[in-house]
Chain A
Amino acid sequence: MQVRVDSDLCQGHTLCAMAAPDLFALRDEDGHAYAPDENVPAAQEERAQEAARSCPERAVQLS
């Protein structure tokens, strides 16, 4: 599984990082999130899904 944050959609709610702190980092200026490593470890897949669900902008994309 791979995770990315669509930076055009992300509005900096930072909820993804709450759901999966190990998968996301936040940019200082605007709270926008990014995934430092797009590859999701198997043990984190559930959290990645949780993060995708918790993003109000549907900016967290899994593939």
Chain B
Amino acid sequence: MVVGAGLGGLRTIERLRADGYPGRITLIGAEEHEPYDRPPLSKQVLSGDWEPGRAVLRDRAGLAGLDVTARLGTGAVALHGTTVELDDGGTVAGDAVVIATGLVARRLPHQPDGVAVLRTLDDALALRRALGTARSMIVIGAGFVGAEVTCAALRRGVRVTVLEALDAPCQRVLGRRVGELATRLFTEAGADLRCGTRIGRLLDGRTVELADGSVLSADLVLAGVGAVPDLRWLDGAGVRVNDRLACNERGRVVGMSGVWAVGDAAAWWNPATGDHHGGEHWTLTGEQAARAACDILGTEPPAAGPPYVWSDQFGLKVQVIGRTDTADELVQLHGTGLDGGPVKGTVVGYLAGGVLAGAVSFGAPARFARYRALVASGAPREKVLATIE
């Protein structure tokens, strides 16, 4: 039984069937929608380039093709052993439970309902409608989603003010110095980016009071301040959940038996770093789904690649591979963005202890491709520099 009809849940089922799992499979999903993909929500769906149906990963016929009983529009409210209780009063029991319930948008304290968020297809469609009439917008949080929404709004001629608490956009991922490149992407596109801005409180759906007492207002306010798991439904399941579900390196939830977790709601044990690490990435979710499915089947799981995340913003693709948070040295591998040159075409390597731990590319996908293998193998500095050409 799979709880959560998003990417992780669906990919787990696809893998189980591809590898010959013969048993019954039930998919429980709180949203009415057929399982859909989230990255296009802040990109093609928001911009209007795609009709929402194109984001669907598998429609009802496709689910039937996988021989899945899909209970869409039904939420799980409790777990006892491997029996799930549903909000319609029913229960479903299985030999194995896979939890793939993802995240919900993080809310600011006392956030009024009129403030927009972007996590679901319904959120994206509501935001797209609102952008159709708005002339001005405030985006709180300059992360990847905030950046993508900013682009979509600017493209529609909406004036955008972006409020970011840290010193640069996407700073947690990019670090301070490379974050400066992201700053330039915002400002060169015409957004009014204000870093180091603390929010006091949200007065209503159009008005923000900053910590210094000044007040800003716009036709539309979006809170793009990240996402958190909502695992209250596991309260009675006999496992302590602090944040995400701690799992071993095959996705089994620590402290439970017959229960796996994949995707954004899970934090898998990483033997290399010795900690439970949660991602919020498309690629990681698919990988975990495949690995968990193999563990359920007792087959050899596929090897894990380095983490990868991308964002389409300001007319270029930002790509991040590996870890950027452990770096003690940056090298500009291509382009001249760090020296004030164009952001587009810049590739930066993140070295930790002299080996390549991660890399970031701004609009240079083909050049960037080669660094994936170097990150995966932990290539030393000389080898990285020799690759530049």
Chain A residues close to B by CB (< 8 Å): 11-15, 17-18, 26-32, 49-50, 53-54, 56
Asked if B368 is an interface residue, CB under 8 A from chain A, the answer is yes
The residue in chain A whose Cβ has the minimal distance to the Cβ of B368 is A31
B14 near A14 with CB under 8 A, answer: no
Asked if B372 is an interface residue, CB under 8 A from chain A, the answer is yes
A20 → B minimal CB distance (Å): 12
Asked if B272 is an interface residue, CB under 8 A from chain A, the answer is no
Quick one: which of B290, B302, B308, B367 has the most chain A CB within 10 A?
B308
Q: State in angstroms the CA–CA spacing of A30 and B364 once bound together.
A: 7
Asked if B239 is an interface residue, CB under 8 A from chain A, the answer is no
Asked if B11 is an interface residue, CB under 8 A from chain A, the answer is yes
A30 near B369 with CB under 8 A, answer: no
Q: Which residues of B contact A17 (CB under 8 A)?
A: 369
B365 near A30 with CB under 8 A, answer: yes
Chain B residues close to A by CB (< 8 Å): 11, 14, 18, 39, 282-283, 286, 290, 302, 305, 308, 310, 312, 317, 319, 365-369, 372
Q: State in angstroms the CA–CA spacing of A16 and B113 once bound together.
A: 41
Determine chain A's interface SS by DSSP, over half rule: loop
Quick one: which of B283, B310, B367, B369 has the most chain A CB within 10 A?
B369
Q: A11-B317, A18-B305 are in contact. Are A56 and B39 (CB under 8 A)?
A: yes
Q: Which residues of B contact A32 (CB under 8 A)?
A: 365-366
Q: State in angstroms the CA–CA spacing of A15 and B372 once bound together.
A: 10
A31 near B18 with CB under 8 A, answer: no
Q: State in angstroms the CA–CA spacing of A56 and B14 once bound together.
A: 15
A23 → B minimal CB distance (Å): 15
Q: Which residues of B contact A15 (CB under 8 A)?
A: 283, 308
B366 near A27 with CB under 8 A, answer: yes
B12 → A minimal CB distance (Å): 12
Q: A53-B14, A56-B282 are in contact. Are A13 and B365 (CB under 8 A)?
A: yes
Q: Which residues of B contact A49 (CB under 8 A)?
A: 18
B229 → A minimal CB distance (Å): 22
Q: Which residues of A contact B365 (CB under 8 A)?
A: 11-14, 30-32
Q: State in angstroms the CA–CA spacing of A54 and B289 once bound together.
A: 12
The residue in chain B whose Cβ has the minimal distance to the Cβ of A56 is B282
The residue in chain A whose Cβ has the minimal distance to the Cβ of B312 is A11
Residue pairs across A and B with Cβ atoms less than 8 A apart, 20 shown, are: A12-B317, A12-B366, A13-B308, A13-B310, A13-B319, A14-B365, A14-B372, A15-B283, A17-B369, A26-B366, A28-B366, A31-B368, A32-B366, A49-B18, A53-B11, A53-B14, A53-B286, A53-B290, A56-B283, A56-B310
